[in-house]
Amino acid sequence: MDWNTCAPQDVATLQCFEVIFTNIIKAASALAAIVLLIMLIVGGFKWLTASGDPKKIEQARGTITAALLGLILIVGAYIILSIIAAFTGLDALKTFTISTQ
């Protein structure tokens, strides 16, 4: 659905929620990518400044591990959803639409 179909001069309908939901998902994906990058940088910086302290190195390793697990979780969820959509033939799993019936 295009945002032009929900123009400001028109009456807001439930169909406009499709556009809002799509924008929220895109923003959340971008935010997740930014957080991942920041966590990797922070973890790397902690590791570099650990000065051989095993406790600090372990904290840095934990930060990097958490960032990578988050990435695996997000990508894995998308892959699982794509596989289910491919096997069932339900394209509605990958696109958000509200029925007009």
Dump pLDDT digits (tens) for 12-53.
667 777 788 888 988 999 999 999 999 999 999 999 999 889
Better pLDDT: 52 or 99: 52
**Per-residue tokens: 26:** 């895109």
Over residues 61-87, the mean pLDDT reads: 92
| Residue of 67, 20, 19, 17 lying closest to 42 (CA atoms) | 67
Q: Scanning the structure block, which residue is given the tokens 């809002």?
A: 20
| Residue of 101, 76, 79, 81 lying closest to 92 (CA atoms) | 81
**What does pLDDT average to over the chain?**
85
Better pLDDT: 82 or 98: 82
